[in-house]
Every structure is written in structure tokens, then in C-alpha cells.
Amino acid sequence: MSALFASIPAMILLTGLLVAASGALLGTFLVLRGAAMQTDAISHAIVLGIVLVWMMTGARSGPVVVAGAALAGLATVLLSEALARSGRVRMDAAIGLVFPALFALGVLLINLNARNIHLDVHTVLLGEIGFVWLHTHHVAGIRVPVAVLSLGVVLALNAGFVALFWKELKLATFDPALAAAMGFAPALLFNGLLALTSATAVAAFDAVGAVMFIAFVIVPPATALLLTDRLAPLLAWALAIGAASVGLGYVLAQYWDVSIAGMMASAAGAFFALALVLAPGRGIVAQELRRHAQRVDADCRALVAHLHSHREGPERAEESTARALEEHLRWSAQRARRAILEGHDRGLLRREGRLLALTEAGLATARQMMAAGRPHMPGQDPETDTVPLKR
């Protein structure tokens, strides 16, 4: 065990994993509630809490600093909500008004009162995960990085809070009104979540910085939202993506000799970009395939309606051909061919020489479309206009 804690790479990775796990546990609920940017407000407001605690007690670390910073973060949220409830400004504007003011006040107090001590705004915001192994504490005769200890405690608190109030958090996240009616106090739960976010941000600032903590709180849960819409898998995905970002970021940072924390955040962003493009249900590729299927389905409906309206009479020889689709419907040759192939695949039409004719299934479909007054194909929901992805 002592060899593990003596390993610099292991301590850097462990610190990153603790930050990622803590951020995912809280960020999942913040992102779902649409309150992700509260994290940004909190991460800046903690500067004021830290400097106020130092001015009153002289402490620059420890539980009292964490508590003071957590209260400052919570005060930011409460002030923003009070300003928004006044009706004068929207919530996003309220956040933008409150946290810069509190952050600026914290910076001003540092410049006025803490010029000669090690209480640096740059350290608070950016941190340096590569140096966590330098500041250690003896635990059972083993030198353990202080960042690992503090983040471990915070992670345990976050996990305990989520596990203890899982059902309440779930209901309060998706239906606050019902949660309030059932006596679950959603506002109190949310404030508890924000207080833990403040405490976690303080614990993280020495290692990865408050700004870097924002990335771990928001990006993995936002990525997970592209992959699932169920809460438990969403949380699992967020934890996995955060852990993968830490590992990949560390490897790439060593390879390119760049900022470790910055590369970890960049890796998280890369995972989000991949999910944005390739997520099976909500990714850009999946959405484009769905739109393509809808266009093909609409063309197939139009083709069936066209053939049905010209199935008899002298114009049939002219209208029931692929060329008619190009000349009369002004379709491209590729579009006409695609609609014809789709109709064949569905068993709705057949070829009679150079002519296209509806099968019995095609005639039944056309009659169903005409009776409904809308050209819906079998299996399509007429209420939602959605098209099944699989036939």
C-alpha cells in the first residue's frame, strides 16, 4: 500500500479519478435539472468564502475553509434565485450578475489583505494536479497526498448523499411539483446538492482547480445524456466517461508534455464530441439516418398514391413509369430509384414490363391512406408522424 501512495503517476490518476467521480455524482442531477452552470457560479464564489474564512480565522485549509467556501457557493445560488424570483431578470442573467460580483469582491479582498501570503487566485482557479504528491499527510504511517484524503472524504459524502436520497433526488429532478406534494422538500434537496458541489469544488481546487472541476461536473453527464435516458445508466455512463477521460488525458499529457489537468478536460470534451456524432439514438449520424428514413418513407407514400391515382385509364402507360416520377414529380433519378426500391422491399409494388403496378398490399395501403385522408404507411403512427427505424 505504501508503494502505491509513493507512486507519483498513481497519485495523479487517483486524484483525477476522485474528482471525476465526485463531479459525475453531483453533475448528473445538476445537468438534468438544467442547473449545470450553477457550478460555474459556485466555483468562482468560493474565492470569497476562502478569503473571508482566512480573514476571520487565519486558516487557509481544513474543514473550516471548506465550510466557508461551501456557504459562499450556496449564498451565490440563493442570491441568484432571490434575484430571479423578483421578476426583474431571468435566472441566467441573475447568475451572471451575482457570481462575478462575489468573485470580484473575493479578488479585491485578496489584493487588499492577503498580498504577502500564499492565497493565490490563480491556484484556486487552475490548480496543478501534477504536484499533488508534494503535499502529504501521515495516515497509519503512510504518506498520503492531502488532495487524495480531502477528495476521498468528499466523494464518500457525495456518494452517501446520492445513495441515501436516491428516490427523492430522482423525483425532485424530474417532477419537483410532485416531490413537493409528497413532502420531499425538493428545494432543500437541491440546496444540499449545491452545498456538496461547493465543498467538492473547494476540495478540488488545490489539485485540478475550480475551473477544471466544472468540466468534470458538466461534460461527462452531458455526454451520458446522449447515450441513455434512464437515470441509473446515465450515472454509470457519467462515472465511466469521467474515469476514461482521466486515464486518456494523463497518457496524452505525458506523450505531448502538456498540462495534465487540461488534457483530462480535453479528453472529456473529445468523448462528448464522439457521442454527439455517433450516439446510437441522439447522435448526429443517427438523426441523419432517421431523417433519411423519413424522407424515403414519404417518397414511398407519394409513389403509392401516384400509382393508385393513375392505375386505370389511358394515362397509366405514361404515368406509371420511372420517367414520369422524374418529369412530372420532378424527382431526381436517384430519388425515384430509391422510392421504387423501397416500394419493392415493402412488397407494395411490382414491375409489369416497363410499368410500375401496385400489389394487393400496395392497393390496400393506398386505400387505407385515402380513407384516412393522410398518406401514412402501415406501422407509422398517424398521431406523431414518427417512422419506425426497423421494418
Residue written as grid cell 446522449: 226
User: pTM here?
Assistant: 0.84
221 Cα distance to chain centroid: 4
pLDDT score, position 390: 38
**249-285 as b/e: b if 16+ CB within 10 A:** bbebbeeeeebbbbbbbbbbebbbeebeeebeeebee
Written as one letter, the residue type at 360 is E
The per-residue pLDDT string of the chain (391 residues; one tens digit each, 9 = 90 and over) reads: 778 888 999 999 999 999 999 999 999 999 999 888 888 888 878 888 888 888 888 777 777 877 887 788 878 888 888 888 888 888 888 888 888 888 889 888 877 876 665 555 555 555 678 888 888 888 888 899 999 999 999 999 999 999 999 999 999 999 989 989 988 889 889 888 988 988 888 888 767 877 688 999 999 999 999 999 999 999 999 999 999 999 999 999 999 998 898 899 999 999 999 999 999 989 999 999 999 999 999 999 999 999 998 888 888 888 899 998 998 889 999 999 999 999 999 999 999 888 999 999 999 999 998 888 754 444 444 444 443 433 3
Neighbour tally for 344: CB within 10 Å:
15
Q: How many Cα atoms within 13 Å fall on the side-chain side of residue 268? A: 33
Between CA 175 and CA 186 the distance in angstroms is 9
Distances (CA, A) of 109 to 50, 121, 201, 211, 329: 10, 11, 20, 20, 73
Domain map (residue ranges) of the chain:
2-217, 285-372
Contact criterion met (CB below 8 Å) for 132 and 209? no
Contact criterion met (CB below 8 Å) for 47 and 110? yes
pLDDT score, position 328: 85
Q: Which of 313, 306, 391, 384 is nearest to 346 (CA)?
A: 391
Beta strands in the chain (DSSP E): 136-139, 142-145, 349-352, 355-358
pLDDT score, position 223: 97
Q: Which CATH class is domain 2-217?
A: mainly alpha
Strand partners, 386: 381
196 is written with which cell numbers? Answer: 456538496
**182-191 as b/e: b if 16+ CB within 10 A:** eebebeebbe
Between CA 231 and CA 233 the distance in angstroms is 6
The kind and range of the H/E element at 242 are helix 231-256
pLDDT score, position 126: 58
CATH architecture of 285-372: Orthogonal Bundle (1.10)
Contact criterion met (CB below 8 Å) for 52 and 70? no
Q: Which of 389, 374, 298 is nearest to 343 (CA)?
A: 298
- What is the chain's length? 391
Between CA 272 and CA 288 the distance in angstroms is 18
Contact criterion met (CB below 8 Å) for 26 and 217? yes
Distances (CA, A) of 197 to 14, 21, 192, 203, 208: 19, 12, 9, 10, 15
